[in-house]
Amino acid sequence: MLILSCPNCGERNVSEFRFGGEFNPRPPNPDACGDAELAAYLYLRDNRLGVEKAWWYHQAGCGLWFLAERHTKTQEVLKTNVWQPDEAGEGADGD
Amino acid sequence: MSFKLIRQALNGNGLLPRMWRSHPVRDRYDVVIVGGGAHGLACAYYLAAQHAITDVAVIEKGYIGSGGSGRNTAIIRSNYLTPEGVRFYDESVRLYEQMATELDFNVMFSQRGHLTLAHTDGAVRTMRRRAEVNKLQGVVSELIPPDEIERLCPGIDVSDHPRYPILAALYHPPGGIVRHDAVVWGYAHQADRRGVHIHQQTALTGVDVRGDSVVGVETTGGYIKTGTVLNATAGWGSTIADMAGVRLPLTTFPLQACVTEPLKPFLDVVIVSGSLHVYVSQSDRGELVMGASVDPYTSYSMDSSLAFMEGIAGHMLELFPFLSRVRVLRQWAGLCDMTPDYSPIMGFTPVRGFLVDVGWGTYGFKASPICGRTMAELIAGERTPDLIRPFRLSRFEEFDLVGEKGAASVGH
Amino acid sequence: MATEMTRPQAGSRTDAHRLPPRSGEVIDRGARVAFTFDGRDYTGYEGDTIASAMAASGVRVFSRSFKYHRPRGLLCCAGQCPNCLVQIGDEPNVRACTRRVETGMAVCSQNAQPSLDRDLLSLTQLAAPLMPVGFYYKTFIRPAALWPSYERVLRRAAGLGKVDLASRPGAFDKEYLHADVAVVGGGPSGMAAAVGAAEQGASVALFDVEPSLGGRLRYSRSRSGGFASLRSSVANRPDVDVYTDTSVLGWYQDNWLAAVKGSRLFKIRAKSVVVATGAIEMPLLFDNNDLPGVMLGSAAQRLAHLYGVKPGERALVLTANDDGWDVAVDLAEAGIDVAAVVDERHSCSSSAAKALISRGVPAYFRHTILEAVGSKRVRAARVARIDPLGEADRSATRNLPCDLVVVSMGWTPDLALFHMAGGKSVYDEQRSEHRATDAPEGMFVAGRAAGAGTAACAMEEGRIAGKSAAAFLGFGDGPTASEVSDLHARKAGEPVRTSGRTIVPGRKKRFLCYCEDVTDVDLQTAIVEGYDSLELLKRYSTISMGPCQGRMCSMNTVRLCARANGTHVQETGKTTSRPPVAPVTLGALAGQNMEPVQVSPVHQWHLDRGAGMMVAGLWLRPEDYGDPVAEVKAVRERVGLMDVSTLGKIQLTGSGVPELLERLYVNQWRKLGVGRVRYGVMCNDEGVVIDDGVCARVQEDEWYMSTTSTGATTVFEWIQWWAQSGWGDGVHAVNLTDSYAAFNLAGPRSREVLQLLTDRDLGNPKFPYMRVRSTRVAGVLCRVLRIGFTGELSYEIHCPASFGMHVWEALMAAGKEFDVAPFGVEAQRVLRLEKAHIIVGQDTDALTDPFSANMEWVVKLNKRDFLGKPMLTRMSERGTAQRLVGFRMARPDLVPEEGLQAVCRDGNGRQEIIGWLTSCRFSPALGETIGLCWLPANVAAEAGTPFQIRRGGELEEAYVHHGPFYDPAGERLQM
């Protein structure tokens, strides 16, 4: 079982967490979005075979939503962090 | 006894025809199909058989059927929730019914009956809704009470002891299972006979797009000039589309399954429980073939998890308490490309000549024949057949999603 | 022939094939164990396996094969092959060679009709030419209508053991283990690894599938001098936990291991892993290689050494290595007549060989076997010289009488766990074995699994692996470079142990896969047909997919496949190693039933009153107390009390709450005054309704939100998500769902009841509709919301869960004079339906927006950005195709079931679906059937529009209804 490190609690079994999907920030001004842009936000995903930046929630723990950069094939977790206001809109680098 | 077997018995192996041949990769094909699974091979077969398009290459990075086609639990049914879903899958069931004779290969389609259990009043409501939708479209499907469930499936626990007692079931007699590999091999054989080239161990490495049109593909077997590329992959739908610069509404999750040691047959129907996330049938070899819902997080790894085995074992014993001493022999995983509305994406993309047959979630196998036929029709006629119009990619931008999500919790 | 199946009377010939007592045996000859096999009495000793006890009584046939029903005898005696699968009571497919015999066990053979001895289905062998590999794909095709009948026949022949529908789960459980280093395999290398790691300070868990540590040292002649001392040093180390009789089932991400011991599943988190899983002895393909009496060398040794059982009377040992000569010596010393040793090599200079040859045992060097001769058991072996090309020379053969053919041709390292973890290996052509190359980080491999031959070498390699595993975790410095290079040199100098020979061609059947009766010819056929890669071959022929999980056949399959394709073993690849490494029961995997159940603090009260409980998410809640119609009536006419503790309850504090609520709900919140309550609807950005409920502003900066019962967790997490990613400045959210009980006191007399329990003035002026008040009820500080899902004057009383029962009982007691009645979910469904209130999740689904759900009044598109606004804006502009509306039936007493379809006739007179019923009940208040349904917007637009509902093939007329059915002006709420 994958071990994921909660920024609050440290390393825990992945079964303690709920996966929240690819990091997909809400458009800053959604009212101004055209149909294509809105549909892209709502539905399109990078779905990377590589390092994916995604949301996780420490459900059986502290209740923190955080971001993890995880390789979707090797499962290596490169980084976990609490959301920051300047959180990059693009997914992490990687292939 | 089949003539073929008698001939084989008399002649030995020497005169046995190859099911499919290998060819050098040519530098151009009219159509390149990416993915040698049931979908891709069915499409190749129909292109050749019904549209006389035989200059077709099927590119498969492993061996044919190595993806979802060989990893699913081979359940076939058409008792969907939406009229468009029922229409589509019912046509698929019809094609499965005639597949053995059409392909001259026994795919062992066993219409043994399919039961979707309801454990909550909400599920009962959904099952009745499905049954009614099905009946109105001529699909045999009905809601049955626990004693009837027990009659069809002796030993199943219909008492009120389980955590989630069985309240009713949606019974779909034409549903059943098929020998999944045989479907792949049968299509491959018939496509090969008609001139289609099947290139195993050949991976797609790039899609050559000039302007807004496809002009060729890069493969590990070399560059192929072509104006039509069909992405018929599962698990790699996004990755392949990305090569053509197309972004798709897909999220890839592993789906796991397992089998037990062979047992004398006791389970003659397919049992599905949405609430318990388990579906099970007993193969003609006697193994129980079991699956669950997709894994809780995205992954392209096909590693198995212990949590899956623990979960499915617990749920199996809720349904069948007498199986506690039966042993699991093997577990495996496949990859599923999930879409936002639990319905596939079929047809054109913004890139001319780059077509998709992706996003099949956990239910792609059962649609293989009808997908192959309709995608071939689309390629040959350069227009979207009505049957698959609801599944076009542009529906997302048009905010016209398919309503199948309502039955998503029981998606097998 | 039947006489060969020795059938002793009880106890009489138990020891007919038993050797004199010997050191190292695991049986207790003082303790007899009586059991039955196919109804006949047998006895063995304490410590015997079922197979050893039966073999001691002379039984040679243990099973019938899967396809041809050929008799099969003991082959591996190590739980690796399918040949001794038996049924014990309700437990199918038990490996008789590893299951210890117990008094009273009722053991049965499987897959044989009418008996193991005379199995009629063995006649299928006559039709074998018509049943080549994959025959079923080529026949039963036409006419298609007959396939179901064929399938029934095939199914009758399928399967091995039987299930007993009356069987019930036993006591299964689970245990978590933690160790710095997990060592898998307790043979010489595993024991040494455990000690090696522990000496560096690491905590170690050591697992072995056998009843005691030692691996092959327990039963083979080549006992190393260090064995005893190693075993005692393992036993004496408190930092090494030993788990015997325990099979490790699999490696999962991040060194998460599963293992099973009897009915207990271990889940192990290790920081590093040493794989010391040993090697599996390989069968050779030759004519009739499945005949009972053909046995692997290690199997013969196990029988003789561990159980004191003679594997046969006269043995022919077939070998290609020194191990085989050791086996021959073992057998000779045990008093078994060694007819000959057939060695495919030119010579052997081992001490065992010299000893045997000097004793006059015939040695046939540069010879091999052609055939095991016999029908139900071995009578002789036909051997032949190997010609200069390396093939058997069929022109000069000889028959050597024997009843036992011991095959000791080599080993395949057991790298299943290693490969599962991502380890890489290469095939060493010279040694004819796979060699582990790249181990995943934190994994180390040692002993025979890593190619070490002698026990001494394995121990050294184990010690080094243990040290390395410890050093990986920071314990000690790890082995020195010279230790490692010395080991490599030593391994390189060891003799080749495994023959490259896989098959001796012949004219009869040679079995590659014992589980599925697949022969080398079947494999050839499949390859010719195009199934030429390993995975296709496996799927077509079913090789390696049977109970042995490929242990007996995988390596031979790869070799034969390589040969047929003219490639190398390395290029051919290998089949994927998948868990579980050993078959494991569903019971052990499931453990005890740990399905969570949530109940309210008043649960017992409901049970005591005979409430019918229903499942609602994780909750159990009263559906009714026997008469839901009376419960509805009580609420409408007097007063009722409902346990609504299942509602989600979320406390939000801080100055940022109004802003957050504006974002989360589609309606407005900023201006809600203190002490007020408002109904709200939440959507996601797709504009889909995800939950509804009320939210109260208890104080300036304190809000109390309720959610649907099933939505509590997801809504709380949803709030947290947005609050923690930018919208939560000055907001603190706490989920109080489990901490608070909640009761709905509803009905025209509810105020009078509640007033009896509180000092606060409940009169309309002081506590009007849609207000919240904090007050003591029956002495307990409660939060009381005046709201009304039921459409009557009502109060929702929230109190700490620990006081729940007290407050509930106080309310029931106070209500007694008003004839209060508890009411359940069913009554509530009727009451809310009379008010046309929707239930999210029942009347809506995962695609429903508030407009089509007839709640446009709640959506405030003129407020600033909120979740769902862009989509809702589009929807309001574009309109919705379907609407949720009320309906009443033309036949007032007919209650159509929820889920039925609304239909109309299309142009061709066919019924076309136009909608469906989500809710439907008979309304006692109205005296007619009412409901909610989805209809096309144009049909739903006009109240009174008729439409048809299809029920059991009949069409029933209904009429569209707008607004609440009962008290449309809402006057009763304001009472």
CB B202 within 8 A of CB B29: no
Q: SS3 of C75, please?
A: coil
Chain A partners within 8 Å of C686 (Cβ): 42
What's the DSSP call for residue C112?
-
What's the DSSP call for residue C529?
T
Q: Which residue has the higher pLDDT, A86 or C750?
A: C750
CB burial of B72-105 (b: ≥16 within 10 Å; e: otherwise) equals bbbbbbbbbbbbbbbbbbbbbbebbbebbebbbb
Answer yes or no: is pLDDT of C223 > 80: no
Whether residues C869 and A75 touch (CB distance < 8 A) is answered with no
Answer yes or no: is pLDDT of B274 > 90: no
Mean per-residue pLDDT, C924-947: 96
Helix, strand, coil share (%) of chain B residues, nearest 5:
35, 25, 40
Rg, chain B, Cα only: 21
Whether residues C870 and A3 touch (CB distance < 8 A) is answered with no
Whether residues A44 and B399 touch (CB distance < 8 A) is answered with no
Answer yes or no: is pLDDT of B20 > 70: yes
Mean per-residue pLDDT, B81-105: 94
Whether residues A43 and B396 touch (CB distance < 8 A) is answered with yes
CA distance B230 to B353: 8
- Which token pair is C91? 């437990």
Determine contact: A42 vs chain B, CB below 8 A.
Answer: yes
Q: Where are the beta strands (DSSP E) in B308-386?
A: 327-338, 345-348, 354-358
Name every residue whose Cβ is closer than 8 Å to that of residue B181 and which is 6 or more positions away in sequence: B65, B69, B70, C539, C540
Probe site for chain B from C536, C551, C829, C914 (most B CB atoms < 10 A): C536
Determine contact: C870 vs chain A, CB below 8 A.
Answer: yes
Q: Where are the beta strands (DSSP E) in C577-709?
A: 584-585, 612-616, 619-624, 640-643, 648-653, 677-683, 689-699, 702-707
pLDDT at C575: 86
Interaxial angle between packed helices C534-541 and C554-565, expressed in degrees from 0 to 180 and rounded to the nearest 10: 120
Whether residues C254 and A26 touch (CB distance < 8 A) is answered with no
Answer yes or no: is pLDDT of C13 > 80: no
- Band (pLDDT 50/70/90 cuts) for residue C23 is confident
Answer yes or no: is pLDDT of C221 > 90: no
Answer yes or no: is pLDDT of B410 > 80: no
| DSSP, residue by residue, C10-52 | TTTTTTTTBPPP-TT---EEEEEEEEEETTEEEEEEET-BHHH
Parallel/antiparallel/unpaired status of strands C443-445 and C264-275: parallel
CB C180 within 8 A of CB C186: no
CA distance C199 to C743: 63
Whether residues A42 and C685 touch (CB distance < 8 A) is answered with yes
Interior CA angle at A88 toward A82 and A92, to 5°?
Answer: 90
Residues C357-412 pLDDT 10s: 999 999 999 999 999 999 999 999 999 999 999 999 999 899 999 999 999 999 99
Determine contact: B238 vs chain A, CB below 8 A.
Answer: yes
Q: Where are the beta strands (DSSP E) in C374-463?
A: 380-386, 392-401, 404-408, 411-413, 425-428, 433-436, 443-445
- Band (pLDDT 50/70/90 cuts) for residue C975 is confident
Mean per-residue pLDDT, C231-244: 95
The region that residue C372 occupies, defined by phi over 0 for left and psi between -120 and 50 for alpha, beta otherwise, is beta
pLDDT at B307: 96
Contacts 24+ apart (CB under 8 A), B213-222: B213/B351, B213/B352, B213/B353, B214/B244, B214/B351, B214/B352, B214/B353, B214/B354, B215/B353, B216/B28, B217/B32, B217/B34, B217/B59, B219/B25, B219/B59, B220/B61, B221/B25, B221/B59, B222/B25, B222/B27
Residues C885-904 pLDDT 10s: 999 999 999 999 999 999 99
Answer yes or no: is pLDDT of B411 > 60: no
Determine contact: C915 vs chain B, CB below 8 A.
Answer: no
Written in H, E and C, the secondary structure of C245-271 is CCEEEEEECCCEEEEEECCEEEEEEEE
Written in H, E and C, the secondary structure of C700-744 is CCEEEEEECCCCHHHHHHHHHHHHHHHHCCCCEEEECCCCEEEEE
Q: To the nearest whole number, what is the mean pLDDT of chain C?
A: 94
CA distance B45 to B58: 10
Mean per-residue pLDDT, B256-281: 95
Answer yes or no: is pLDDT of C11 > 50: no
Cα nearest neighbour of B236 on chain A = A49
| Alpha-carbon distance values, C457 to B286, C192, C430, C729 (Å) | 44, 11, 19, 65
Determine contact: C926 vs chain B, CB below 8 A.
Answer: no
Kindly indicate whether the ipTM for this predicted assembly is greater than 0.85, answering yes or no.
yes
Probe site for chain C from B8, B117, B134, B306 (most C CB atoms < 10 A): B306
- Band (pLDDT 50/70/90 cuts) for residue C680 is very high
pLDDT at C1: 36
Chain B partners within 8 Å of C139 (Cβ): 1-2, 4-5, 106
Residue type, A19: F
DSSP H or E segment with residue C558: helix C554-565
Answer yes or no: is pLDDT of C7 > 60: no
Residues of A with CB under 8 A from a CB of C: 1-3, 13, 18, 20, 26, 29-31, 33, 35, 38, 41-42, 55, 57, 59, 63-65, 75, 82-83, 85, 87
- Which token pair is C20? 């004199």
Could you give phi then psi for residue C569, rounded to 5 degrees? -60, -40
pLDDT at B16: 77
Count B/C contacts: CB-CB distance under 8 Å: 294
pLDDT at C106: 96
Measure CA B210 to chain center: 33
Parallel/antiparallel/unpaired status of strands C294-296 and C404-408: parallel
Cα nearest neighbour of A16 on chain B = B296
CA distance C366 to C377: 26
Determine contact: B245 vs chain A, CB below 8 A.
Answer: no
Neighbours of C942 (CB within 10 A): 10
pLDDT at C8: 42
- Which among B4, B62, B403 is the nearest to C847, CB-wise? B403
Name every residue whose Cβ is closer than 8 Å to that of residue C968 and which is 6 or more positions away in sequence: none
Place of tokens 């200069």: C388
- Which among C253, C726, C865 is the nearest to A30, CB-wise? C865
Residues C443-495 pLDDT 10s: 999 999 999 988 999 999 999 999 999 999 999 999 999 999 999 999 999 99
Q: To the nearest whole number, what is the mean pLDDT of chain B?
A: 94
- Which among A39, A48, A73 is the nearest to B396, CB-wise? A39
Bond into C21 cis (ω within 30): no
pLDDT at C3: 38
Contacts 24+ apart (CB under 8 A), C130-134: C130/B1, C130/B5, C130/B6, C130/B9, C131/B5, C131/C67, C132/B5, C132/B8, C132/B9, C132/C521, C132/C522, C132/C525, C133/C518, C133/C522, C133/C523, C133/C525, C133/C526, C133/C540, C133/C541, C134/C526, C134/C529, C134/C540, C134/C541
- Which among B97, B133, B403 is the nearest to C901, CB-wise? B133
CB C96 within 8 A of CB C107: yes
CA distance C78 to C796: 67
pLDDT-above-90 percentage for chain C: 87
CB C44 within 8 A of CB C86: no
pLDDT at C363: 96
Could you give phi then psi for residue C705, rounded to 5 degrees? -110, 140
Residue among C517, C562, C523, C561 nearest C540 (CA): C523
- Band (pLDDT 50/70/90 cuts) for residue B406 is low
